[in-house]
Amino acid sequence: MCDARCWSARSRPSACRCSCGGANHGRGYFAPYRGYPRRPKPPSVGDYFKSIGKSALTNAVIYGLSAAIPPLGAVAIPAYMAYNYSKLGYGLYKVYSEISAEGKVSANSMKQASESLGDFVTQGPADTIASAVVARATQDGLFEEMVKNTHVDEVVFAEMMRGSTSSALSAGAGELAKFAIVKAVGA
Amino acid sequence: MDQNDFEIVSIIASRKAEFYVKIGEKLLASLPFFIDKKEARLRLRRATSELDNSLFISEEEKASKTINPALLVSQLKLNNQEILDWMVKAMTEG
């Protein structure tokens, strides 16, 4: 078996007396030796959260829902939304109406959606429409003010709007209509 | 969907964003060096965004049929178990 005497040797490989037979002789301490098993491949993100990362995920979710003091941007979001949900809602509705008036979601808007939201995979009509709405809303700068006031990345708002719009479209008409919004004082 | 629906969607999306910022701060900092942080962040963002909207409306709001945009996620007393189950499923799939 190789050790530092072999790896860091300065003599010729033929002088090697260990099991590598000179293959690793003098190659330096970190030289790979083909005779040993390679370092195990690191687990994928999915595998990690299935096993050792599951408790970290659980703790993070509980923290996310708990009364712990949230990061600055997270605190600023509801404060911003208390006065600006109407503006955002109107903007999104306007975009949605425009897309609906066009009759269908164009290939171009889908391309823009995938560019702005990363490597998401479209899953159905609700997701397709939601992606198109959010892509155009982003293009129109609808989330800029929110980003400026909360310092949360625009891509985060865009992704959350996409998922929420898709969920609302999937749930069907009337699901949200039963709710009224509590108006902030002075709003 | 009408304007009221989109106003509510905006509030729910903002709650998810708040939740994501909090969970991201905790989770991403705890990842070991061998885990691809970019992929973990993308996966976390998608998992959060695709949570069912109804999970981000509190039982109190459902009963009163009103939604308060100024409430923090921590003030909503949401169903931890259902959200957790979804997050674990979404983060481990694929």
Q: What is the pTM of this model?
A: 0.79
Beta bridge partners of B66: A180
Residue B33 CA from chain centroid, whole number:
26
Does B15 or A7 have the greater pLDDT score? B15
CB pair distance less than 8 Å for A65 and B73: yes
- The predicted-structure confidence for A112-149, as pLDDT tens digits, reads as follows 554 554 444 445 788 888 999 999 999 999 999 999 99
CA distance B89 to chain A (A): 9
User: Which DSSP letter does residue A44 get?
Assistant: P
- Is B6:A158 a contact under the CB 8 Å cutoff? no
The pLDDT value recorded for residue A142 is 93
Q: ipTM for the complex? A: 0.95
A82 touching chain B per CB within 8 A: yes
Give which of B52, B53, B44 is closest to B21, Cα–Cα: B44
CB pair distance less than 8 Å for B34 and A171: no
Q: Predicted confidence band at A157 (pLDDT cuts at 50, 70, 90)?
A: very high
Q: Predicted confidence band at A34 (pLDDT cuts at 50, 70, 90)?
A: low
Give which of A177, A172, A162, A51 is closest to A114, Cα–Cα: A162
Residue window 25-84, chain B: list those with CB within 8 Å of chain A: 25-27, 30-32, 34-36, 39-40, 42-43, 45-46, 48-54, 57, 61, 65-75, 78, 80, 83-84
Within chain A, residue ranges assigned H as helices are 4-7, 45-50, 54-65, 72-102, 107-117, 125-139, 144-150, 154-171
Domain ranges, ordered by start, for chain B: 3-92
Give which of A76, A91, A82 is closest to A150, Cα–Cα: A76
Rounded Cα distance between A171 and A150, Å, is 29
Percentage of chain B exceeding pLDDT 70: 99
Rounded Cα distance between B67 and A76, Å, is 18
The pLDDT value recorded for residue B43 is 94
Quick count: other Cβ atoms within 10 Å of Cβ A30? 6
- Is A81:A152 a contact under the CB 8 Å cutoff? no
- Is A116:A158 a contact under the CB 8 Å cutoff? yes
- The predicted-structure confidence for A45-103, as pLDDT tens digits, reads as follows 899 999 888 999 999 999 999 866 777 778 889 889 999 999 999 999 999 998 888 87
CA distance B20 to chain A (A): 7
- The predicted-structure confidence for B39-76, as pLDDT tens digits, reads as follows 999 999 999 999 999 999 999 999 999 999 999 999 88
